C-alpha cells in the first residue's frame, strides 16, 4: 500500500436520496426530505428512488408493496419533482444497488454497525427476532449513494449516522484497494427547519411511518378534519407558549409544534413566538391546523389525481430505472474490476 495522501474525488456533483414505501408519507418526510428534493433538482443532477429493498427489512404485505411504491412516487411528483429533471425509480429495479451492497458488506466492519442507533430503536427489545437486513441496511444505503458516486445526500437528521457510515465505507474501499478518490465522501444536506419533526404523541421520538399510532403523525393524505383532530389531540403541557426560545427548549412538545408552524410558514421559531408567545394552545393549535391544511391539501389533491392513473406512474418509474441503470453500470463494472472478480 502506498502512503500517498488520498486524492479527493474529481467527478461531477450529484444528488441522491430516497424514501421507503413502508407506509403513508408524513409531514416529517415532506419537510425533511421531499421539499429539499424538489429544490435540488433545479441545481444539480438528481436521482431520487423509492427504497423498496429497505422497506422489506420489516414485514411488508406483498399485495400492498407495489401500490405503496406508486404512492411514494405520486408524493414525489405532487411535491414538485419533475421526471424531466430528476431521475425517479424503484430501488429494486436497479440490481447494481444490491450487488455493490454485498461488496460493501465485506468492506464495512461489524463494530461500525454495532454503533447504529436506528437499529437499536427499530429492533427494540427483540433484537434477535429482527431481520438480518434491518441490521445491515445502512450498508445497502452506502451502496445506494455510491453506486452513482453521489456527492450530496438530502436527508432528515435521523440519517446522519448512516451517512457517516457511508463516508467510512467509501474511505475504506478507496484505501483498501488503493484507489484514492474513487468514491466521493458524500455530504449530507440535513440542515433546515424540517430536519427533525417529532411525534405528536411523544416529543422525544421522531415522527415515523412505522409508528403504530396513526395519531403520532400527520400523513400527506389526511383530510382537513383529520389534520385538525390530530393537532388538537397532540400532546402538550398546560402552560401558554413561552415568549423566548430559551424557555421553549425545556418543552419538547411545544418546541415541536412551534417548529412545524415555522417550517410550514417559512418563519423562524423566534418569529412564531413573536406572534404566539403568551397565547395558549387553544389559540395556537387551530392556527397550526389551518396552516397545515392550507399547505398539505394541494399536495394530497395532486397525489389523489396522480394515483388515479397508475399506468402513468409506472411509465415514470420504468423510464427512471432505465436511466439509473445506465448511470450505475460503469461504476459497478469498475468496482468488480478493482475487487478482482473474474470477468
Ligand atoms: P420508517 O419508520 O419506515 O423508517 P420514516 O418515517 O423514518 O419511515 P424513511 O423512509 O425511513 O421514513 O425516511 C425517508 C426520509 O425522510 C429520510 O431522509 C429521513 O431522514 C426523512 N425523515 C423521516 N422521518 C423524519 C422526521 N420525523 N423529520 C424529518 N425528516 C424525516
Ligand atoms: Mg426511517
> For the chain, which residues make up each domain, given as ranges?
14-189+309-339, 214-305
Among 1.20.1250.20, 3.40.50.150, 1.10.240.10, 1.10.8.60, name the CATH number for the domain at 214-305: 1.10.240.10
Q: How far is the CA of 29 from the centre of ligand 2 (A)?
A: 9
- With a CB cutoff of 8 Å and minimum separation 6, the contacts of 41 are 15, 81, 82, 85, 86
Cell numbers linked to 121: 430503536
For ligand 1, atom 8, which residue shows the shortest CA distance? 209
35 in contact with ligand 1, CB cutoff 6 A? no
Element (H, E) at 49: strand 45-50
Residues with a known catalytic role: 122, 206, 209
Mean pLDDT of 132-143: 98
User: What was the pLDDT predicted at 4?
Assistant: 57
Ligand at shortest distance from the CA of 189: 1
153-71-141 Cα angle (round to 5) = 30
71 in contact with ligand 1, CB cutoff 6 A? no
68 in contact with ligand 1, CB cutoff 6 A? no
203 in contact with ligand 1, CB cutoff 6 A? no
Say how far apart CA 103 and CA 311 lie, in whole Å: 35
Cell numbers linked to 339: 475487487
Ligand at shortest distance from the CA of 26: 1
User: What was the pLDDT predicted at 193?
Assistant: 87
pLDDT bracket for residue 6 (50, 70, 90): low
Cell numbers linked to 198: 417529532
Ligand 1 nearest-atom number relative to CA 206: 27
Mean pLDDT of 91-103: 98
More confident residue, 288 or 24: 288
Ligand at shortest distance from the CA of 256: 1
For ligand 1, atom 25, which residue shows the shortest CA distance? 28
| pLDDT above 90 for 93 | yes
pLDDT tens-digit readout, 212-259:
999 999 999 999 999 999 999 999 989 999 999 999 999 999 999 999
Q: Residue 291: is it exposed, middle or buried by C-beta count within 10 angstroms (0-12/13-18/19+)?
A: middle
The CB density around residue 240, as the number of other CB atoms within 10 Å, is 16
Cell numbers linked to 23: 407506509
Mean pLDDT of 204-212: 92
Mutate to test the pocket of ligand 1, among 16, 17, 18, 19 (most ligand atoms within 8 A of CB): 19
Architecture of domain 14-189+309-339: 3-Layer(aba) Sandwich (3.40)
For ligand 1, atom 14, which residue shows the shortest CA distance? 19
User: What was the pLDDT predicted at 7?
Assistant: 73
Q: How far is the CA of 208 from the centre of ligand 1 (A)?
A: 6
Percent of the chain with pLDDT over 70: 98
Percent of the chain with pLDDT over 90: 92
User: What was the pLDDT predicted at 125?
Assistant: 85
Q: How far is the CA of 21 from the centre of ligand 1 (A)?
A: 11
Ligand 1 nearest-atom number relative to CA 55: 3
Residues in the chain: 343
Q: How far is the CA of 338 from the centre of ligand 1 (A)?
A: 34
Residue pair 276/283 in contact (Cβ under 8 Å)? The answer is yes
- With a CB cutoff of 8 Å and minimum separation 6, the contacts of 289 are 227, 228, 231, 232
Amino acid at each position: 500500500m502506498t502512503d500517498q495522501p488520498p486524492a479527493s474525488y474529481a467527478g461531477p456533483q450529484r444528488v441522491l436520496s430516497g424514501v421507503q414505501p413502508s407506509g403513508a408519507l408524513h409531514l416529517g418526510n415532506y419537510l425533511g426530505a421531499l421539499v429539499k428534493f424538489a429544490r435540488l433538482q433545479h441545481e444539480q443532477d438528481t436521482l431520487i428512488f423509492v427504497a423498496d429493498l429497505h422497506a422489506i427489512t420489516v414485514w411488508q404485505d406483498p399485495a400492498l408493496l407495489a401500490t405503496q411504491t406508486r404512492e411514494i412516487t405520486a408524493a414525489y411528483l405532487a411535491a414538485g419533482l419533475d421526471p424531466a429533471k430528476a431521475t425517479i425509480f424503484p430501488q429494486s429495479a436497479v440490481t447494481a444497488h444490491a450487488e455493490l451492497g454485498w461488496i460493501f458488506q465485506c468492506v464495512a466492519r461489524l463494530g461500525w454497525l454495532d454503533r447504529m442507533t436506528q437499529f437499536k430503536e427499530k429492533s427494540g427489545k427483540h433484537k434477535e427476532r429482527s431481520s438480518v437486513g434491518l441490521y445491515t441496511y445502512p450498508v445497502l444505503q452506502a451502496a445506494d449513494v455510491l453506486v452513482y458516486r453521489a456527492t450530496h445526500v438530502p436527508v432528515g437528521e435521523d440519517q446522519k449516522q448512516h451517512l457517516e457510515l457511508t463516508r467510512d465505507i467509501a474511505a475504506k474501499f478507496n484505501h483498501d484497494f488503493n484507489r484514492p478518490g474513487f468514491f466521493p465522501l458524500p455530504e449530507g444536506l440535513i440542515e433546515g427547519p424540517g430536519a427533525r419533526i417529532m411525534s405528536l404523541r411523544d416529543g422525544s421520538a421522531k415522527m415515523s411511518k412505522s409508528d403504530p399510532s396513526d395519531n403520532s403523525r400527520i400523513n400527506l393524505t389526511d383530510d382537513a378534519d383529520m389534520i385538525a383532530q390530530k393537532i388538537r389531540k397532540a400532546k402538550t403541557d398546560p402552560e401558554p407558549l413561552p415568549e423566548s426560545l430559551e424557555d421553549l427548549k425545556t418543552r419538547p412538545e411545544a418546541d415541536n409544534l412551534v417548529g412545524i408552524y415555522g417550517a410550514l410558514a417559512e418563519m423562524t421559531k423566534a418569529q412564531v413566538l413573536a406572534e404566539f408567545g403568551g397565547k395558549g394552545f387553544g389559540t395556537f393549535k387551530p392556527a397550526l391546523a389551518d396552516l397545515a391544511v392550507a399547505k398539505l391539501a394541494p399536495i394530497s389533491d395532486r397525489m389523489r389525481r396522480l394515483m388515479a392513473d397508475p399506468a402513468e406512474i409506472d411509465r415514470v418509474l420504468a423510464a427512471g430505472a432505465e436511466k439509473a441503470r445506465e448511470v450505475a453500470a460503469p461504476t459497478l463494472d469498475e468496482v468488480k474490476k478493482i475487487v478482482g472478480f473474474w470477468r
